[in-house]
Amino acid sequence: MELGTDNLAVDATGFTQNNDTYNSLENNQSSKSNSEKQTIPDPQIYKGGVPVARGGHPAGYQYSSIADAINDALNGDTIMLENGATFYEHLIINKNLTFNVFNNGHATIDGSNNGRVIYVTSGVTVYFYNIIITHGKTPGGPGPNNLDGAGIYNEGTVYLINCTLTGNNAGNGADGGASDNGDNGGNGGAVYNTGTLNISNSTLTSNTAGNGG
The chain-wide mean pLDDT, for the chain, equals: 80
- What per-residue confidence (pLDDT) applies to 4? 58
Peptide bond into 139 cis (omega under 30): yes
* Residue 7 pLDDT: 61
CA 203, CA 205: separation in Å to the nearest integer?
A: 6
Do the domain assignments include residue 134? Answer: yes
The percentage of the chain sitting over the pLDDT mark of 90, rounded to a whole number, equals 64
**45 vs 172, residue with greater confidence:** 45
Q: Give 172-185 as a DSSP string.
A: PPPPP-SSSPPPPP
The pLDDT-based confidence of 34 (bands split at 50, 70, 90) is very low
Is the bond preceding residue 142 a cis peptide, omega within 30 degrees?
no
Query: What pLDDT does 186 receive?
Result: 67
Own/partner long-range contacts of 71-78 (Cβ < 8 Å, ≥24 apart): 72/45, 73/45, 73/97, 74/47, 76/21, 76/47, 77/21, 77/45, 77/46, 77/47, 77/52, 78/21, 78/22, 78/25, 78/45, 78/46, 78/47
Per-residue pLDDT, 24? 38
What total number of domains does the chain contain? Answer: 1
Q: 23 in a domain, yes or no?
A: yes
**pTM for this entry:** 0.78
Mean of pLDDT values over 155-178? 78
**pLDDT category of residue 171 using cuts at 50, 70 and 90:** confident
- 54 found inside a domain: no
Domain assignment of residue 210, yes or no: no
In degrees and rounded to multiples of 5, residue 174 shows phi and psi of -70, 150
**Picking from 37-41, 50-54, 140-144, which range would have the lowest pLDDT averaged per residue?**
37-41
More confident residue, 158 or 4: 158
- What pLDDT does residue 176 have? 31
Closest CA to 12 of 144, 139, 133, 162: 162
Residue 101 lies in a domain: yes
Share of the chain above pLDDT 70, in %: 72
Interatomic CA distance for residues 32 and 186, integer angstroms: 45
Q: 140: helix, coil or strand? A: coil
- Does residue 212 belong to any structural domain of this protein? no
Asked if residue 178 is part of any domain, the answer here is: no
H-helix or E-strand spanning residue 27: helix 20-30
Contact (CB, 8 A) for 83 and 60: no
Q: What is the pLDDT of residues 86-115, one digit of tens each?
A: 999 999 999 999 999 999 999 999 999 999
| Residue that wins the pLDDT comparison between 31 and 40 | 40
Q: Identify whether 176 is part of a domain.
A: no
Mean pLDDT of 60-76: 97
| Domain encompassing residue 196 | 3-12+19-48+59-171+184-205
